[in-house]
Structure 1
Amino acid sequence: MGQPNTSNTDQLITILGQAMISNPDILAAEAAIKITQAQLEGARLPLNNPELEFETERAEGNSYTIGVKQTLDWHDKQGSYLEVAQTRLNAAQQALMALKLRKASELLDAIGNISTQKRINELAKRRSETLSRFVLLAEKRHSVGDISIAELELARLSRAEAIMQQVKSGVDLIKANSAFFALSGVQLPGNISLPARLELKQQRAIDDETTIRNHPNVQAAHNMAQVVRQKIRLVDQERKADPTFGLSTGRTGNENLVSLSVSIPLQIRNNFQNDVDAARAESLQSDHEAQVMYRNSFARLQAARARYKLIDGTWMMWMSLGEASLQQSLILLEKQWQAGETNTTDYLLQMKQSLETSIAGAELQGERWSAWIEWLSASAYLNDWLYGATKEQ
């Protein structure tokens, strides 16, 4: 992967860090991890506490007994609870990583949208200013009879259209800033700029299957499927009865008593086999869902890479043409119009095409950034790209 400009990257890291700290979805996911950690600690403790019994009786002779009962975890249910709790924790941690990846991608995509809309707004403003100046020149030429009233009105109409487009681009910029604020809770600094270098490192061989298997989304789905598989054994153990042993001592009249008791529930009327069958069906469902997540993630990765390469190739072609050449052509076109070599209609048409091409170039740059972020999200290499430049310092 390409390395971003360090100053730009530091700025992006700061913005993302501030947004992530206060994001309610991330805070909820972190709370979920604390819940599973507490459940894991609880699973390490014995399942059954001892019971203390005391009995006294007043009759012909006073009697009393005191004893202790303890239910034993005969089938190692605690081990199954511990296994499930650990896997749940792993799933929650992977889910948090996946959520952070998604939120970071959304924020970077929103930043790219703001940058694109800002550039489009600048171009629209430049177009309005150019046409306003052109109308003044057209009015002067009309006053001396060089152009007709129809050409002058066409110029004024083009200026009005340019002003409306500038207003629209301003509204789109406001919407883009609002969308970023909704995601982050902060306003984007006005001096933010996007890294220019986004190319892939050709020397790094990418194994798509390994990449997808290690993706947090796939890992979280795999761990949840594993939790459900482990619950089959747990449910099967839960339906098995554990024995309870009791030891008591006491005195009846002048005689001392010591007794030992054993009780085992009889699973005759209901052996709870249906719970095991339900757990197996749920496990099969989770396995299928994990497979769907893998396939979707694999397809997303390949589509994201193909999309980025396609857009990047078009972008490189656009850069080879250069926006500067468009500006030079506009200057030349205006000189030709003032010299009477080009009529007003052709001038306005060509100027409109040139500026629309510039706006299309800005939109293409935004699409390139969006495709790049999608590729980084689909491959889970976003952190590698963001922090790569910092680590190499």
Structure 2
Amino acid sequence: MKCASKALRSEVDLAIKKQHADPTFGINVGRQNNEDSVGLTFSIPLNIRNNFSSEVKAASEIALSAEESFKAEYLEKLQLIIGSEKVLFEYEKRYLHWQSIAKMALVDADTLLEKQWKSGDISTTDYIQLLNQLSDGQMVGIELEQKWKLSYIELLLNEGSISNAISNL
């Protein structure tokens, strides 16, 4: 976008330079009726009606418009990145919290529950119901991990650095 901005600035500079017409000077050499002739011409343009200010103004407006479009797009991308970072950190925090509380408890609960069922401390119906609750807890963890990783991918996409991340795998 910087190259486009430089090009538009160059157009503005060119339009400003065209605003003032330069005088011209010419020499004509030739023969006329068997006589050598030399002619001199000198021209000074008078900018009475057209001072080219509209071209300068138009070029300036185009350059300003392009610059503002760039700024708007930049700010939009920046907000997307900031939002993606916040989502990523929130999912990461929730997943790590779940992991610290539930993951180890779920593994131990599974074996403890099976021992209680085999020894007859709990009924088969209670055992199945408790296994379903354990699996629901594990599903919550899997979903949190999935959302966390997807939000990371979203951040990489918004930053435009997904190809760098893939090449580092």
The answer, yes or no, to whether TM exceeds 0.5 is yes
Q: Does 1:176 align with 2:151?
A: yes
Distance (Å, rounded) in 2 between the aligned partners of 1:168 and 1:57: 96
Distance (Å, rounded) in 1 between the aligned partners of 2:146 and 2:42: 77
Distance (Å, rounded) in 1 between the aligned partners of 2:158 and 2:72: 16
User: Counterpart of 1:142?
Assistant: 117
Report % sequence identity. Answer: 14
Please state how far the C-alpha of 1:109 moved relative to its aligned partner. 0.4
**Cα offsets for 1:28-56 (capped at 9, x unmatched):** 1x333322322222222144444435352
Q: Judge conservation of contact 2:27–2:38 (CA < 8 Å) in 1.
A: no
Please state how far the C-alpha of 1:106 moved relative to its aligned partner. 0.8
Distance (Å, rounded) in 2 between the aligned partners of 1:55 and 1:171: 86
**Of 37, 41, 66, which aligns to 1:63?**
37
Q: Does 1:99 align with 2:73?
A: yes
SS of equivalent residue, structure 1 residue 159: helix
State the Cα RMSD in Å. Answer: 2.9
**Of 155, 164, 177, which aligns to 2:130?**
155
Give 1:115-264 correspondences, 5 Å limit.
Answer: 115-125=89-99, 126-185=101-160
> TM-score when scaled to structure 2?
0.72
Q: Judge conservation of contact 1:33–1:92 (CA < 8 Å) in 2.
A: yes
User: Counterpart of 2:166?
Assistant: none
**Cα offsets for 1:252-272 (capped at 9, x unmatched):** xxxxxxxxxxxxxxxxxxxxx
For structure 1, the residue ranges without an aligned partner over 5 or more in a row are: 1-27, 188-393
SS of equivalent residue, structure 1 residue 75: coil
Please state how far the C-alpha of 1:61 moved relative to its aligned partner. 2.0
**Cα offsets for 1:96-142 (capped at 9, x unmatched):** 33223212211110101101221332354344433333323322322
For structure 2, the residue ranges without an aligned partner over 5 or more in a row are: 163-169
Q: Judge conservation of contact 1:110–1:179 (CA < 8 Å) in 2.
A: yes
Q: Does 1:38 align with 2:2?
A: no
Please state how far the C-alpha of 1:173 moved relative to its aligned partner. 1.9
SS of equivalent residue, structure 2 residue 135: helix
Structure 1 residues 151 and 77 mapped into 2: Cα distance closer, same or farther (>3 Å)? Answer: farther
SS of equivalent residue, structure 1 residue 66: strand
Distance (Å, rounded) in 2 between the aligned partners of 1:53 and 1:71: 18
SS of equivalent residue, structure 1 residue 64: strand
Please state how far the C-alpha of 1:152 moved relative to its aligned partner. 1.8
Relative contact order: is structure 1 or structure 2 higher (C-alpha 8 Å, sep ≥ 6)? 1
Give 1:328-343 correspondences, 5 Å limit.
Answer: none
User: Counterpart of 1:75?
Assistant: 49
Distance (Å, rounded) in 2 between the aligned partners of 1:46 and 1:76: 11
Quick check: which has more Rg, 1 or 2? 2
Distance (Å, rounded) in 2 between the aligned partners of 1:45 and 1:138: 87
Q: Judge conservation of contact 2:106–2:138 (CA < 8 Å) in 1.
A: no
**Cα offsets for 1:165-190 (capped at 9, x unmatched):** 43333232222112222222559xxx
SS of equivalent residue, structure 2 residue 94: helix
Q: How many residues align?
A: 159
Which region of structure 1 is more displaced relative to structure 2, 96-105 or 45-54? 45-54
Q: Judge conservation of contact 1:135–1:155 (CA < 8 Å) in 2.
A: no
Distance (Å, rounded) in 2 between the aligned partners of 1:53 and 1:147: 116
> TM-score when scaled to structure 1?
0.35
Q: Does 1:111 align with 2:85?
A: yes
